[in-house]
Amino acid sequence: KAGVTQTPRYLIKTRGQQVTLSCSPISGHRSVSWYQQTPGQGLQFLFEYFSETQRNKGNFPGRFSGRQFSNSRSEMNVSTLELGDSALYLCASSWETQANTGELFFGEGSRLTVL
Amino acid sequence: GQQVMQIPQYQHVQEGEDFTTYCNSSTTLSNIQWYKQRPGGHPVFLIQLVKSGEVKKQKRLTFQFGEAKKNSSLHITATQTTDVGTYFCAATNAGGTSYGKLTFGQGTILTVHP
């Protein structure tokens, strides 16, 4: 069974640009969450989608957005990139249909460098 | 917002020594999960604890959830070089809906010297 797939794995952008990251969850998983991982702030929750609806959102500025498609694949977008957006962006999927978060299956991440 | 404090930040041990990492929250938790991230890798789920005072074991790993559901620990007996990595606790608050949101501790980076 294939795991969570994230593309691209690595990318370099310059300040002011925008970026779109893609995530394909494990087959059958309908919940997709996104996390940002940096050495300074650790793992921080961005947002979660279930059945194309955003159910939860972390404390990130509006430059960070996401969406989910009918096949559960998800994308996140960061506009007007800043140097501080350099991070590993992790997507996680789960069977989650209930309110409380269970086991998350993480992808290998997309490492974004902003110059 | 919710914070989960994890200590120590770093731990260096000789192979065969034991290792423990601790997580503490000022608020009551609904559940706590533990993840391991190998260098250059992604977090991998280890276990979830839900009940007050719960203790679970996986081979050399022992996980505990405090009676008040505000703290947790992970203990590794007789570490091996394959245990190298960062261990994270991750929690959800009691009484609310989390929908994919886990609050992660800062992680403990474990180095094992052969």
Give DSSP secondary structure letters for B16-75.
Answer: T--EEEEEEESS-EEEEEEEEE-TTS-EEEEEEE-STT-EEEETTEEEEE-TTSSEEEEE
A62 CB burial (10 A radius; 0-12, 13-18, 19+) = exposed
Pairing of strands B108-113, B10-14: parallel
pLDDT of the residue at B104: 95
Question: Chain B within 8 Å of A59 (Cβ-Cβ)?
Answer: yes
The answer to whether the CB atoms of A99 and B90 lie below 8 A apart is no
Q: Report the C-alpha gap between B100 and A23 in whole angstroms.
A: 15
Q: What is the mean pLDDT of residues A91-97?
A: 84
Answer whether residue A59 shows pLDDT above 70. yes
C-alpha A68/C-alpha B94 separation (Å) is: 27
Residue from B26, B33, B106, B79 nearest A37 by CA: B106
Determine, for residues B33 and A103 on separate chains, whether the beta-carbon distance falls below 8 Å.
yes
- DSSP symbol at A95: -
- Residue B1: the pLDDT is 67
> How many CB atoms neighbour CB B77 within 10 A?
14
**Residue B101 pLDDT:** 85
Q: Spell out, as residue ranges, where chain B has pLDDT lower than 50.
A: none
Determine the pLDDT at residue B92: 84
Q: Are A89 and A21 in contact (CB under 8 A)?
A: yes
Task: Write down the pLDDT at residue B99.
Answer: 77
Confidence of residue A101 (pLDDT cuts 50, 70, 90): low
Nearest CA of chain A to the CA of B92: how many Å? 7
CB count within 10 Å of CB B92 equals 24
Q: Which residues contact A62 (CB under 8 A, 6 or more apart)?
A: none
3-state secondary structure of B83: helix
Interatomic CA distance for residues A25 and A92, integer angstroms: 7
Q: How far is A18 from chain B (nearest CA, A)?
A: 24
| Contact with chain B for residue A2, Cβ under 8 A | no
